[in-house]
Amino acid sequence: MALQKRTDDLDWNDLRYVLALARHGSLSATARFLKVNHATVSRRIAALEETLELTLFERRARGYVLTPAAAPVLAAAEQIEAPLLRLGRLGDASRGEQISGTVRITCTEGVASHTIAPQLTGLRQRWPALQIEIAVEHRSLSLARREADIAIRWARPKTGELYASRLGAVPYRLFRNPAAPDRTAVAAFDESLADLPESLWLKKSGLKQMIRSNSMLPLVAAARAGACAVLLPEYIAGQYPELVAEPGKPPVTRELWLVLHRDLRNTPRVRAVADYLADGIKRALRQPA
Q: Where in the chain is the domain with CATH 3.40.190.290?
A: 98-289
Express each pLDDT in 104-159 by its tens digit.
998 999 899 999 999 999 999 989 999 999 988 765 545 555 567 899 998 888 76
Instruction: Inform me whether the pLDDT recorded for 2 exceeds 50.
Output: no
Q: Decide if 129 contacts 247 (C-beta within 8 A).
A: no
pLDDT digits (tens, 9 = 90+) for 182-222: 889 999 999 988 889 999 999 999 999 999 999 999 999 99
What pLDDT is attached to residue 211?
A: 94
Distance separating alpha carbons of residues 278 and 264, to the nearest angstrom? 16
pLDDT digits (tens, 9 = 90+) for 50-61: 888 889 999 887
**What Rg, from alpha-carbon coordinates, does the chain have?**
21
**Which burial class, exposed, middle or buried, applies to 67 when counting CB atoms under 10 A from its CB (0-12, 13-18, 19+)?**
middle
pLDDT value at 7 more than 80: no
At 65-89, the pLDDT tens digits run 889 988 888 888 877 777 766 665 4
**pLDDT tens digit string along 89-98?**
445 444 434 6
Nearest to 231 by CA among 253, 260, 255: 253
- The secondary structure element, H or E, covering residue 252 is strand 252-261
| 268 vs 225, residue with greater confidence | 225
Q: Where do you find CATH 1.10.10.10 in the chain?
A: 3-74
pLDDT band at 4 (very low <50, low <70, confident <90, very high): very low
Q: Tell me how far apart the alpha carbons of residues 125 and 130 are, in angstroms, rounded to a whole number.
A: 10
- Give residue 176's pLDDT band: very low, low, confident or very high (50, 70, 90): very high
pLDDT of 287 above 80: no
Q: Where are the beta strands (DSSP E) in 118-225?
A: 130-136, 150-153, 162-176, 185-189, 208-213
- State the pairing for strand pair 185-189/229-233: parallel
Under 8 Å between Cβ of 258 and 150 = yes
Report the predicted TM-score, pTM, of the whole model to 2 decimal places.
0.62
* Per-residue pLDDT tens digits for 230-285: 999 999 999 999 999 999 999 999 999 999 887 777 788 888 999 999 999 988 88
Range list of H helices, the chain: 3-8, 12-24, 27-34, 38-52, 71-94, 109-111, 120-126, 197-205, 216-224, 234-237, 268-286
Say what the pLDDT of residue 73 is. 86
Cβ 120 vs Cβ 102: under 8 Å: no
Task: Answer for the pair 258, 164: CB distance below 8 angstroms, yes or no.
Answer: yes
Q: How would CATH label the architecture of 3-74? A: Orthogonal Bundle (1.10)
pLDDT, position 93: 41
**Helix crossing, 12-24 with 71-94: angle to 10°?**
100
- Which CATH fold would you assign to the domain 98-289? D-Maltodextrin-Binding Protein; domain 2 (3.40.190)
